[in-house]
C-alpha cells in the first residue's frame, strides 16, 4: 500500500482501491451513470440536512467522501470519457501482456510509460493517453508523478 499524501482522506481498509486500470474505467463509467452524489447541488444547508439523514440511515461518511472525490475527478473531463477509457484499457493490456503486470497497472513507471509512448504514431495521441493515465491514477487516489518525469515528455 502506498503512503498517503498529506491531503488524503484516510478510509477503512475495505474502501481502498486496487491499482487496476480497469477499475478506473468502471469508476469513470459509474461517475456518469450514477446519481450517488447524495446532498450535492442542493446548497449547503439543505445538502447537510440530506447528508445527516443519510448518515443516520447508515451511510458511511468516509466512503461517501471518497466516492464524491472520485466522481469529481472523473467528471473533470466529460467530453473525453471514451478516450480516457480507451487509454486505460490500452495501458492495462500493454501492462498485462507485455510487462506482466497481472492487474497491477497503476501507477506506471516512467520507463514503462516512455516505452508505451513509442508505440503511438502521433506524439499528441500518446501525450493525451498518458494524461488519461494520470486521470486513472487520480480516480484511484494513486501517485501520478510518473507522467511528469522527463523520460515521458
What pLDDT is recorded for position 15?
A: 33
What pLDDT is recorded for position 3?
A: 39
pLDDT in tens, 94-119: 999 999 988 888 889 999 999 999 99
Low-confidence ranges of the chain (pLDDT < 50): 1-17, 35
Q: Rounded to 10 degrees, what is the CA torsion of 18, 131, 147, 11?
A: -30
Of the candidates 114, 36, 122, 21, the residue with the CA atom closest to the CA atom of residue 75:
36
| Residue 116 buriedness (CB in 10 A; 0-12 / 13-18 / 19+) | buried
Q: Are 96 and 103 in contact (CB under 8 A)?
A: yes
What pLDDT is recorded for position 99?
A: 92
Q: Are 114 and 151 in contact (CB under 8 A)?
A: yes
What pLDDT is recorded for position 4?
A: 36
Quick one: how far is CA 103 from the chain centroid?
15
What pLDDT is recorded for position 146?
A: 85
What pLDDT is recorded for position 7?
A: 38
Q: Are 133 and 88 in contact (CB under 8 A)?
A: yes
Q: Are 28 and 106 in contact (CB under 8 A)?
A: no
Name the strand (E) or helix (H) holding 79.
Answer: none
What are the residue ranges of helices labelled H in the chain? 21-33, 44-56, 61-74, 81-97, 110-117, 123-139
Amino acid at each position: 500500500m502506498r503512503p498517503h499524501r498529506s491531503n488524503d482522506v484516510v478510509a477503512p481498509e475495505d474502501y481502498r482501491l486496487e491499482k487496476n486500470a480497469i477499475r478506473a474505467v468502471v469508476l469513470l463509467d459509474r461517475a456518469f451513470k450514477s446519481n450517488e452524489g447524495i446532498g450535492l447541488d442542493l446548497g449547503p444547508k439543505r445538502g447537510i440536512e440530506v447528508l445527516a439523514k443519510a448518515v443516520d440511515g447508515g451511510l458511511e461518511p468516509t466512503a461517501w467522501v471518497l466516492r464524491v472525490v472520485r466522481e469529481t475527478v472523473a467528471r473533470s473531463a466529460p467530453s473525453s470519457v471514451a478516450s480516457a477509457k480507451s487509454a486505460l484499457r490500452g495501458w492495462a493490456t500493454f501492462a498485462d501482456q507485455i510487462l506482466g503486470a497481472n492487474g497491477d497497472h497503476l501507477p506506471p513507471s516512467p520507463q514503462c510509460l516512455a516505452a508505451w509512448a513509442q508505440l503511438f504514431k502521433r506524439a499528441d495521441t500518446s501525450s493525451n493517453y498518458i494524461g488519461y493515465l494520470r486521470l486513472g491514477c487520480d480516480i484511484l487516489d494513486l501517485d501520478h508523478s510518473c507522467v511528469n518525469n522527463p523520460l515521458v515528455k
